Amino acid sequence: MAAQTILFDFTLDAGKTATSIQRQEVARIVRNELEHVFTQLELAYSMESMDNGYFSVLHENKETIITCRIFQQGLLTINVEYYLAAGKEPVLSLDKGKRLENALAKSLQALSGQKIPTLKRGDVARYYPSSDERIIEYDIDTLVYEARSPFQKIQILHSKTLGNMLILDELQNIAESDLIYTETLMGRGIENYEGKEICILGGGDGALLYELLKEKPKHVVMLEIDELVMQACNKYLSSICGDVLEKRKTDQYEIIVGDCVDYMKKFIAEGRKFDYVFGDLTDIPISDAPIGECWDFIRTIFEHSFQLLKPDGKYLTHGNGTSCLESLQLFEEQLRLLKPKVKFTTTKAFVPSFMEEWLFYQVTFA
């Protein structure tokens, strides 16, 4: 089961979205195309602002929610969200989504009288958001792999300068160019992993496990929920994960496929302890307050991770882009609320495929 989110972005001629009447016409075209896919679509709310443009919320049977925003400056975003129960077919499949995107682009092109450049999430996607939600253009030339697991949309795209890139639910995760990300996360040259017991939460691309095994730890256990991610990375990102994803268990490591929280609870009940726990999971949310499902998940990971650490153990995790000051501050506030108390240090690195500087945390008991 999972919450499914599909985002469409378009750039229009700003001269066609400058007035309220023009934006209403764009909204009409968008709704008309959406109704071909969502036949029972209803308008729940709309708002027109002279300063910020147009915003509306539509729904189909109060289950699929669609938000549409038209900016004065010519940007259009359409976000489709719905809950996908286990074993059910997606409401908007990849093929259907591409057809909808093409139909929208064609209708909007007719409106403006020119070709509309789509910020595509299709065969050769080129545009992805930075951590603070700026749009970055990549030199992507090939869609190498695409599939949808029960948990997320998985893509491997090839960049001329960055190599193969792992994209999960339209967000850049790691590329063949990103050894600096893994080395900064693990504190290579600073931390001593020889003879240590390590737990990785997430890490499905295999890069962290691969690099840690070079440091001769006693044993590493990796908890990853998505088998399909590991299969894709094993085939198309072997330059960063080696052959560690070929097997699920060796004398040096074990990969457990399942919900990391469930297995953390199991380890706690067994009294199992680790020298290092790595949080290679969800990015820090961009939000004004530490509320919502993602923040609840982060707090759960904190709580269980520190129960698994030895007294002199260390929790290592990535934060977010250094430009996301408010979210990083919220994250650090959550660390300060932990009991027993913890202390933390940070390191920074410019990650090539993120095209920005990221912050990493090293957390120990105070």
Active site residues: 280
The residues pairing with 156 across neighbouring beta strands, listed in sequence order, are 145, 166
Burial tier of 353 (Cβ tally within 10 Å: 0-12, 13-18, 19+): buried
Instruction: Give CA–CA dist 87/83, Å, rounded.
Output: 12
- Residue 178: phi and psi, rounded to 5, are -100, 35
Instruction: Give CA–CA dist 236/232, Å, rounded.
Output: 6
Q: Which residues contact 2 (CB under 8 A, 6 or more apart)?
A: 83, 84, 150, 151, 152
* Cα four-point dihedral sign 257, 261, 263, 264: positive
- The DSSP annotation for 160-192 comes to TTTEEEEEETTEEEEETT-HHHHHHHHTTTTS-
Instruction: Give CA–CA dist 169/150, Å, rounded.
Output: 12
Instruction: Give CA–CA dist 363/277, Å, rounded.
Output: 10
Q: CB of 217 within 8 A of CB of 198?
A: yes
Q: Where are the beta strands (DSSP E) in 241-354?
A: 253-257, 274-280, 309-321, 342-351
